[in-house]
Chains A and B, each alone.
Chain A
Amino acid sequence: MKKYIYTTIFFFTLLFISCEDFLQEKVYTQITSDYIVSTPSGMASAVLAMYNKDREIFRNNSDTETTLWTNMLMGDDISVPRAGNGVPQFGRLANLQGSTGNVGRLWRHMYAIVGYANLVIDASQRVDMTDPVAIQALAEARVFRAHAYFWLIRKFDRIYLNTRVTTPENVNDSIVYTPADPDDVFALINEDLNYAIDHLSWETSQPGRFTQGAARHIKAKVAAWLKDWQEVGNQVNIIDQSGFYNLVSLEEIFGSADLNHSEAILVSQWSKGIGGWYINPNTGTTSGHRMPLHFTPNYHQEQGMLMDFESGAYPWGRLFPNDHLLKMYDQAKDRRYQVFYKHTWHYNNPAGLPRGKKLGDPLVPVNQAQYLNLHPACTKYNDSYTRLRPDETQSFKDIIIYRLAETYLMGAEAYYHLGKTDSLSYYYNKTWERAGNAKFTGTITWDMIADEHARELALEGDRWFFLKRNGLLIENIRKYGGEYIEKKGVVLMNDTLIRENVQPHHVRLPIPQAQIDIMGKENFPQNEGYN
């Protein structure tokens, strides 16, 4: 019997011999987050990935249409939307709420950038900061953070200021979330930008990265927001005199796939190569953005029209320049009227021509439906450069975020307020003359600057901010928002809902409702006017 007992014991010992290592999860194809927070190259790699993530503004990962960029462009005095996701809320201010999809998405996107930047900035406490790679990474991360907070404070006014790195260990700490004092937010933004200006160089072999010029341009924008005109003028002068930037010809600004020209200050990089494509993090599939589709009307639905590059290729028809904007141009002299817009379409389908028409004849809209299909369109995003066929929906053309024209217009604005007329004239005439107008030598009024801003930068994303910081947002939308066109007694365009819908509280977005629920409305109340 004893023998059996020993045998049994022997086997039991065998049974329970094992090693805990077996249960350690081994990682093969990914690296852990330790890497990016403990080495200079890790910090740099995180910053590099942030440029990729930042492109999501132009291309949601699940929805190609409802992009942050196109939604944030809407709701001003110089554009009219047609249809699409987000259009009622942002384009006509109907039912804009804390639960509106892109309100939450903007908040999430910007705070994600802040979170990434915080990781890198926090890493600088542990990493050897004499390494130039680490300094460069830190400087870029700080511009990213400043830029994200600048977006948030301008769009929401009421935000939380987070500079801490979140970990599984501290995520459940009890924190009372209360809105930040805007002064603290701007202090952080300026501190971050100053560090970047001190440490970034003017030039980079890698266009698309933040440079000293980009940091100064953003600094000028922040100063304009704070009405610190001296600072604006100062930064604009430095950029102008740096010698690194020049205005290019009107055709060149948006006239190629690669827009890293000497006028460009900050450009979102797109190309068909690896790293130039938007890559869906969930599926790994690669694709471009859809910007050209947004701004081209559905001309192809008209009889006798086929999709071709000449007409604007594949259209979705989401947002158009309105008559208020187009009237600002001197149609005869200002070349921007032709270069930045397409006004007329011409029959191009030999198979489907209406009776009495021939190829090349212009189409003349006679009713509302036709007018929408042939609405004047902004061509700044048109892309016949990266698409093989006109029916291709994806575009890989770069998107300009900031360019020197805007810097100069900020300069004009600053010197208008500072009362220095030669500098004002110098900066105002930069874009004015380039457009083919004769040099303006008279007295430049503020309204002229505001109109020149619209003429030069329309549908590039700054109009809403420009109106808000000048206290004109609500007033101008009430006057000029949407579009109403009547020709010979026929109403061709009637979309002025935004004029009726706009309310004083629309100068800011609502706080995303889900986030208020998490933070508690007693600590972090909704912006006034929204419920």
Chain B
Amino acid sequence: MKVFNEANIAEKSIPFQRIVLFVFSVFCLVLTISAQTRIVTGVVKDVSGEAMTGVGVVLKGTTKGTITNIDGQYSIEVVSNSDVLEFSFIGYETIAKQVDNQSVINIIMHEDVKTLEELVVVGYGTQRKSDLTGSVVSVKAEDMNATPTTSVAEMLRGQAAGVVVTQTSARPGGTSDILIRGKRSLTGGNAPLFIVDGVPVNNIDDFNSQDILSVEVLKDASSQSIYGARASNGVILVTTKRGEENKTVVDFSAYVGTQRVKRNFEFYDGDEWVQLKREANRSFPEGVYLDDASLFGNMYQNLVDRNYTEWESEMIKPAIQQKYDLSVRSGGKNTRIASSIGFFDQKGMIAPASFRRANFRFNADHKFSKTFSLSLNTNYTYSFQTNEDDSFDKFITQSPLLLPYDENGVLQSILADSKWNPVWNNQNMLNERKLNRFLLNLNLDWEIFKGLKYKLNASMNTRDSERGVYLNSLHEQGSNTEGKASIELGNYTDYLIENILTYDRDINEQHRFDVTLVQSANAQLSKNTSMVGYGFATDDLGYNNIGAASKTDPVVRSITPRNLLSYMGRLRYNMMDRYLFSASMRIDGSSVFGAQNKWGFFPAGSFAWRISEEEFLYDQHWLSNLKLRLSYGEVGNQAVSPYQSQGLVDSYFMQYGTGEPLVGYLPGSQLPNPNLKWETTGSLNSGIDFGFLRDRISGTLEFYHSVTRDLLMKQSINEITGYTSQLTNIGSVMNRGIEFSVNAIPVKSKNFTWTLFANFATNHNEILALNGELDENGKPVDDIANKWFIGYNVDAYYDYQFEGIWQLDDEIPDFGPNYLPQPGDIKVKDVDKDGLITPDDRIIINRSPKWTGSLGSSVAWKGIEFSFDFYTVQGVIKSNAYLYDSNSGGDLHGRLNGIKVDYWTLENPSNTAPRPRDATITYFSSLAYQDASYVRLRNISLAYDFPSKLLKDIHMSKLRVYATATNLWTHTNFLSYSPELSAGSYPEPKTLLVGLNVSF
């Protein structure tokens, strides 16, 4: 923050000028200076140093005035030193300057942040940013598109405090979860509601991020509650780009990049694995090794020849990813359009995984009379995803002594250990998913009279998917059944009709208010059909040959409807631009709620005080914005799955002897509950928005406290009834946290701009109540099976506490019959100090992050822009199966390969991992809890914008070339391919790409 150029100096000089002014005024009282006309001259420039033409210069209180010339110069006649000159220009802050005894007054004008007020999309409308009373964060599209992914969720990572994005799958076309302000539901989902151009959608990743103009995240209940029973997990509003009047823009962008694997752990290499196996079969405590020949059996020759395989490179190879987008936006007086096509293609590092997607969008706005207009949004997406075989992750656990190819280079199906070759399996399967998605959204707008508007919002959204899997007769699983084919067909449709009335009225300068009334009906229907067939004469036709299966499983068909009927009213009142009030109520009726609880009521109220607009602060130029916000609201989570409140029966097949299969019906083990209702979150939010030095430094500090009650929990019921449980609204969870974000522009000049941003968020999550069951002492019972503990985080582990390894000279106490450790065994803590290791010695380990944050900066100099951002998650604990689990090679049995650890031997008294052996090691999982906190250089990018003078001749308005590296550097102690995923998940790539953006 060293460099503060002229602009900052000007700002800093304000207090100094004030002192001078004051001193001078005192002088004025003493001395009477005679009136005398003279000329004052000067130059007016903007902050970047450009001369400003046409700036009005007026002698205050008179009609005398002039404007600056092309070089920004002016000259005006003044009478006395106490005269005040006023400089004004549209879009800039007006400056008043007392003449004093100066004859040259140079002025730097600042853009007026107050008049160039940005509009923010809020639910059912837009609002000036300064008028916001709730907690809304806007994310700009260009910041999102810096990350090369198809997942919009992944693009939001680090962009807004309190929005935590976690990767669920790194495979091409993979997805990420978004969690806003902590987990609220135990059994329902925690995914936010997405609204694209006013239409709720279930999946945002099908949309092309290049079409997005802005994303607004509604974080507090007062801004969410107008979406009622679906808003408990937060609402994300997405606005797509539209055509502009009398302007035509053609954009083309493209990038191509490579993905490479990265990891922070080592496998055992050939020699090390051989040694591990020897140690695992060494006698203890005598320390006698077995004979290699009998120990390694038919792998022995490879040991002698040191003929080893690096399995990772057999499975993972660098891969290409590319994206192309073309869009046209154009408009006349009455009609505007925006249209785009996009194509994305990502090959997987693990063949045959891949993802391809084509997007098409057409947005149009047409004003067909003085008071009526129509707008249309259409989006079509086609995507095609192929997956690798489920057994691909076995490459991690394959012994280096196993050879995938025979001496002639022919791929082997079954390896020397009689297990199947994962590379072979991966080549003998097909797993494809095709998706068609179409969204049609029509709006009719009618301005009934000035201020009163009616909008009809209608949409239709369909999503058809087909997944086909074929494991051919050479595949491990297909070989049992002569091929296995499965097809899953999904069809989702929803319809939305909304009647929206808004009335906007300025009573006078001091009082403005607006009212919004909404009636909405939303019908969603999801259908799924799946079929499985076995026994094929040929593998050639893949799963499409399912009709020729010699045997089939029952076809499974499920249909789940959700209908939602809603009414919403909202009143907003703005008094003197200082006191802002908002109150709303949403009423939702849902088909999934029990017959006796069909309607939910979700009220909210909020207040904001723009302190910086108060008289006593208005003139404080260092303070450009100070706003205090307070809100409370209630929102719901429609977590009830369809049909939970009804008494339905399940079907069961029964075949007597060799007869025909018959079907019968019985109710499930869960007793229906006709009283089921939504989960409700009541949430209090307070925040301060601030801006200093003409918003060169701006930011927000927020506190929230939310309690979710009526959580859906399975309550055990007396089993003599024939039922085991009933779903009931009973649990409760609390979340509270602090969020802070700040943006700064330390330098802003003609050729050089430097920006910085940082955000930080904490969340504390706590279970307040579970299913209400009490133990014999009347204390509420924790749900150990689900690892839910009252007073603790929703996400927890429950296990013994690792304390190191028993050493040869340790005196090992008697812990009772369940735990008889020897040197080299795991030492766990006797937490309750009763001298025994019992299940009571387990401890609760919080899994979710203590805080998350990001920090980024960009520096632009004459068209060259360099930017980077860091993202960090701190205080996360994750269990790493690759450190203890036998299927993941962590068991130190010396059968499988895995993540290399410093294990204990007679010669190497390690304190971090136990003695290898071909037998179960007690309490092994206790050492696998690793700190999965990480700091990551998420994106680093260098771009060059060609100067517009150069581009004019070739009719381009913009040409930008850039290179970006994503996930280039990560620091974490969690041993995996990614700190958010286990080592056996599809590995996360680091991506290096070059791209180009052109506009005409």
Which of B563, B655, B672 has the most chain A CB atoms closer than 10 A to its own CB? B655
Contact A15 B517 (CB under 8 A): yes
Interface size on A, residues (CB 8 A): 84
> What would be 14 A-B contacts, judged by CB atoms less than 8 Å apart?
A4-B449, A15-B501, A22-B591, A23-B563, A23-B589, A33-B647, A45-B665, A48-B654, A51-B654, A116-B666, A168-B647, A207-B657, A271-B658, A273-B661
Contact A517 B589 (CB under 8 A): no
Contact B665 A206 (CB under 8 A): no
Knowing A269-B657, A279-B652 are in contact, say whether A389-B666 is a contact too (CB < 8 A): no
Total number of A-B contacts with CB less than 8 angstroms? 224
List, in ascending order, chain A residues with CB within 8 A of B656's CB. Answer: 51, 204-209, 269
Interface stretch (choices A105-113, A430-438, A485-493) = A105-113
Contact B557 A11 (CB under 8 A): no
Contact A16 B519 (CB under 8 A): yes
Contact B671 A168 (CB under 8 A): yes
Apart from A45-B664, A271-B655, A272-B551: 4 A-B pairs, beta carbons within 8 A = A23-B598, A52-B664, A206-B656, A279-B653
A526 to B272: give the CA distance in the assembly, Å. 55
Contact A162 B649 (CB under 8 A): no
CB closest residue in chain A, given B479: A389
A416 to B643: give the CA distance in the assembly, Å. 58
Contact B655 A281 (CB under 8 A): no
Q: A395 on the interface (CB 8 Å rule)? A: no
Contact with B along A75-107 (1 / 0, CB 8 A): 000000000000000000000000000000001
Q: A424 on the interface (CB 8 Å rule)? A: no
Q: B642 on the interface (CB 8 Å rule)? A: yes
User: A194 → chain B, closest Cβ, in Å?
Assistant: 23
Q: B561 on the interface (CB 8 Å rule)? A: yes
A47 to B559: give the CA distance in the assembly, Å. 26
Contact B657 A30 (CB under 8 A): no
List, in ascending order, chain B residues with CB within 8 A of A160's CB. Answer: 720
Contact B499 A32 (CB under 8 A): no
A50 to B452: give the CA distance in the assembly, Å. 63
Q: A332 on the interface (CB 8 Å rule)? A: no
Which of B591, B647, B653 has the most chain A CB atoms closer than 10 A to its own CB? B653
Contact A205 B652 (CB under 8 A): no
Contact among A33, A208, A517 for B776, CB-based, below 8 A: A517
A33 to B723: give the CA distance in the assembly, Å. 14
Q: A7 on the interface (CB 8 Å rule)? A: yes
A52 to B656: give the CA distance in the assembly, Å. 10
CB closest residue in chain B, given A45: B664
User: A298 → chain B, closest Cβ, in Å?
Assistant: 13
Contact with B along A20-57 (1 / 0, CB 8 A): 00111111111111111000001011111111110000
Contact with B along A249-276 (1 / 0, CB 8 A): 0000000001010000000010111111
Q: A362 on the interface (CB 8 Å rule)? A: no
CB closest residue in chain B, given A30: B648
Contact B480 A392 (CB under 8 A): yes
Interface stretch (choices B138-146, B711-719, B948-956) = B711-719
Contact B561 A28 (CB under 8 A): yes
Contact A48 B663 (CB under 8 A): yes
CB closest residue in chain B, given A209: B656
Interface size of B as a range: 35 or more
Contact A258 B721 (CB under 8 A): no
User: A526 → chain B, closest Cβ, in Å?
Assistant: 12
A206 to B654: give the CA distance in the assembly, Å. 10
Contact A49 B551 (CB under 8 A): no
CB closest residue in chain A, given B656: A206
Q: A359 on the interface (CB 8 Å rule)? A: no
Contact A7 B657 (CB under 8 A): no
List, in ascending order, chain B residues with CB within 8 A of A130's CB. Answer: none
User: B456 → chain A, closest Cβ, in Å?
Assistant: 10
List, in ascending order, chain B residues with CB within 8 A of A27's CB. Answer: 643, 646, 648
Q: A529 on the interface (CB 8 Å rule)? A: no
Q: A18 on the interface (CB 8 Å rule)? A: yes
Contact among A25, A177, A276, A392 for B646, CB-based, below 8 A: A25
User: B284 → chain A, closest Cβ, in Å?
Assistant: 15
User: A421 → chain B, closest Cβ, in Å?
Assistant: 39
List, in ascending order, chain A residues with CB within 8 A of B716's CB. Answer: 514, 518
List, in ascending order, chain A residues with CB within 8 A of B297's CB. Answer: 352
Contact among A24, A114, A177, A284 for B722, CB-based, below 8 A: A114
Contact among B554, B658, B666, B718 for A515, CB-based, below 8 A: B718
List, in ascending order, chain A residues with CB within 8 A of B674's CB. Answer: 168
Q: A166 on the interface (CB 8 Å rule)? A: yes
Contact A18 B653 (CB under 8 A): no
Which of B552, B590, B718, B776 has the most chain A CB atoms closer than 10 A to its own CB? B718
A44 to B642: give the CA distance in the assembly, Å. 27
Contact A162 B298 (CB under 8 A): no
Which of B501, B720, B722 has the most chain A CB atoms closer than 10 A to its own CB? B720
Q: Which of A111-141 contact B (CB under 8 A)?
A: 111-112, 114-116, 118-119
Contact B666 A49 (CB under 8 A): yes
Contact A274 B646 (CB under 8 A): no
Contact with B along A221-240 (1 / 0, CB 8 A): 00000000000000000000
Contact B668 A281 (CB under 8 A): yes
Contact B723 A274 (CB under 8 A): no
Contact B499 A15 (CB under 8 A): yes
Contact A168 B567 (CB under 8 A): no
Contact A50 B666 (CB under 8 A): yes
Contact A47 B664 (CB under 8 A): yes
List, in ascending order, chain B residues with CB within 8 A of A303's CB. Answer: 294
List, in ascending order, chain B residues with CB within 8 A of A326's CB. Answer: none
Knowing A33-B667, A166-B723 are in contact, say whether A519-B653 is a contact too (CB < 8 A): no
Q: B669 on the interface (CB 8 Å rule)? A: yes
A517 to B774: give the CA distance in the assembly, Å. 8
Q: B521 on the interface (CB 8 Å rule)? A: yes
Contact B720 A162 (CB under 8 A): yes
Contact B653 A30 (CB under 8 A): no
CB closest residue in chain A, given B530: A284
User: A315 → chain B, closest Cβ, in Å?
Assistant: 15
A53 to B667: give the CA distance in the assembly, Å. 11
CB closest residue in chain A, given B294: A303
List, in ascending order, chain B residues with CB within 8 A of A16's CB. Answer: 519, 567
Contact B655 A274 (CB under 8 A): yes
Contact B775 A206 (CB under 8 A): no
Q: B724 on the interface (CB 8 Å rule)? A: yes
Q: Which of B439-461 contact A (CB under 8 A)?
A: 448-449, 452, 454
Knowing A4-B449, A518-B718 are in contact, say whether A29-B723 is a contact too (CB < 8 A): no
User: B783 → chain A, closest Cβ, in Å?
Assistant: 12
Contact B726 A171 (CB under 8 A): yes
Which of B501, B593, B775 has the most chain A CB atoms closer than 10 A to its own CB? B501
Contact A108 B724 (CB under 8 A): yes
CB closest residue in chain B, given A114: B722
CB closest residue in chain A, given B561: A26
List, in ascending order, chain B residues with CB within 8 A of A273's CB. Answer: 655, 661
Q: A286 on the interface (CB 8 Å rule)? A: yes
CB closest residue in chain A, given B674: A168
User: B864 → chain A, closest Cβ, in Å?
Assistant: 56
